[in-house]
A = this chain, B = another copy of it.
Amino acid sequence: MKEKAIKKGTLRRRSTRQRRVILDVLRSTKSHPTADWVYEQVRQEIPNISLGTVYRNLKLLRDMGEITELSFGSTYSRFDGNPEPHYHFSCVDCGRVMDVEIPVATKLEEQVRQQHGWEVFYHRLEFYGRCSECSERAKKDRTLEQ
């Protein structure tokens, strides 16, 4: 809601070590980590970085379009170093979040525009279910308990 308008031409963003490392960490994982996980990773490189700085930069990078913020009905956010539009799958058993390799259906946005007359900027699609590992474990467990 609070969009912090960047007044045209005023604020010029600086390149800091902290911001660079945070982005590096996110770019080099596919695990869709939490802010705290990112913090722990960055600490290995910059031990005295503060959690506040991590949060500030995650928000900044998100606003710059460099990363994406995800939710998944938890009380905390996850972050994705890949800003390209794509879908996600969340395993209800192990909680892992994976990328989904089906094409992005922009025509859905057109449907909404036609149906309701709203401007649609983007959409977000998440699948919930059980990943292969957890399916097999569940199967094994079921066999054992009988």
Contact = CB atoms under 8 A, between A and B. Distances in A.
Contact of A125 (B3, B98, B101, B125): B125
Contacts of A122: 127-129
Interface residues of A, number: 42
Interface in A25-60: none
A118 B131 contact: yes
Interface of A: 1, 3, 69-75, 77, 89, 91-92, 95, 98, 100-102, 105, 108-109, 111-112, 115-132, 135
A126 B129 contact: no
B77 A100 contact: no
A112 B111 CA distance: 22
29 contacts: A1-B95, A3-B92, A71-B71, A71-B72, A71-B73, A89-B116, A89-B120, A98-B116, A100-B112, A100-B115, A100-B116, A105-B108, A109-B127, A112-B129, A116-B132, A118-B127, A118-B129, A118-B130, A119-B129, A120-B127, A121-B129, A122-B127, A122-B128, A122-B129, A123-B126, A123-B128, A124-B126, A124-B128, A125-B125
